[in-house]
Amino acid sequence: MYHVAVVGAGAIGNPVAFGLSQHWAIGRVTIIDADRVVLSNLARQPWFQTGDIGAYKAPLLVERVGGHQSVIKWQAITEMLREDNAGSLLADADLVIDATDNWETRLTIQDWARKWQRPWIFNSAVRLEGMSLGLIPGGPCLRCWFGTSQTEGPQCFEAGVLGSVTLAVAGQALTLFDQWVRNPRQPSGLWLVDGIEGKFRVISPKAMRCVHYGNG
């Protein structure tokens, strides 16, 4: 049984937590988010309601999604993941799912993952499009896939996004988790949600050696 840490309890974290709660291979889930619920979250973070405004997201999500379960051990952390606390907050995680909306935190997850040789799953959603990517130790990293300039891309608070797109992205993340459970050494492709065409696409795994991390 695996321990999965989810960084972010927002639009992607909500359905990821739901998916994990239904998954046979999960023994423990840790949800990390320092944010509180605001009104504009409700349209795409549907485990939160009007009465939750002002409350911390992580413990609410644990209560709503995992509260009635005895099989999975749920834990909520109301801190922001940073370089100096990643080691302790992620300590026992077998895999980390990125449900953040910023590149800085993703790179923090990745630095931790490379240091401890753990897999993680990158996710993002903007407008009607979404992406998911599984990153395994020794395979290409986020910088290999997207280049170093990507960190300046538009953030979802400016561009708008649909909750149904973030749900589809979370579904991709769960599918990539399944893939990793079946074969932890198989590199993942880049999975794309195209909400306009109503399609999914997969860009094949890159056959490249990472030059960004020493242990490669």
Partner 1 sequence: MEMDDATLERYARQVLVEEIGYDGQCAILQTPLRVTAPDGVWRDLVCRYLSAAGFPITVADGVDPALVVSGEKYRQEIPLGSDIGRLMMAVGQAITRVILSTASEK
Which residues lie near Zn ion (CB under 5 A)?
141, 143-144, 210, 212
What is the rounded CA–CA span in Å between residue 194 and residue 128? 7
The 8-class DSSP code of residue 161 comes to: B
How far is Cα of residue 74 from the mean position of the Cα atoms in its chain?
16
Minimum separation from the CB atom of position 201 to partner 1 (A): 12
Chosen from Zn ion, partner 1, none, partner binding at 43 (C-beta under 5 to 8 Å by type)? partner 1
The 8-class DSSP code of residue 110 comes to: H
The 8-class DSSP code of residue 159 comes to: H
Which residues sit at the interface with partner 1, rule CB under 8 A? 15, 18-19, 22-23, 39-40, 42-47, 127-128, 156-178, 193, 195-196, 198, 200
Contact 192, 38 (CB under 8 A): no
Minimum separation from the CB atom of position 147 to Zn ion (A): 10
| Nearest CB to partner 1, comparing residues 160 and 216 | 160
What is the rounded CA–CA span in Å between residue 197 and residue 18? 26
| Nearest CB to partner 1, comparing residues 196 and 207 | 196
Minimum separation from the CB atom of position 29 to partner 1 (A): 14
Minimum separation from the CB atom of position 83 to Zn ion (A): 18
Chosen from partner 1, Zn ion, none, partner binding at 89 (C-beta under 5 to 8 Å by type)? none
Minimum separation from the CB atom of position 144 to Zn ion (A): 4
What is the rounded CA–CA span in Å between residue 67 and residue 47? 12
Chosen from Zn ion, partner 1, none, partner binding at 176 (C-beta under 5 to 8 Å by type)? partner 1
| Nearest CB to partner 1, comparing residues 5 and 168 | 168
Token pair belonging to 171: 């579904």
Chosen from partner 1, Zn ion, none, partner binding at 18 (C-beta under 5 to 8 Å by type)? partner 1
Chosen from Zn ion, partner 1, none, partner binding at 167 (C-beta under 5 to 8 Å by type)? partner 1
Output the 3-class SS for 46-111: CCCCHHHCCCEHHHHHHHHHHCCCCCCEEEEECCCCCHHHHHHHCCCCCEEEECCCCHHHHHHHHH
Q: SS3 of 191, please?
A: strand
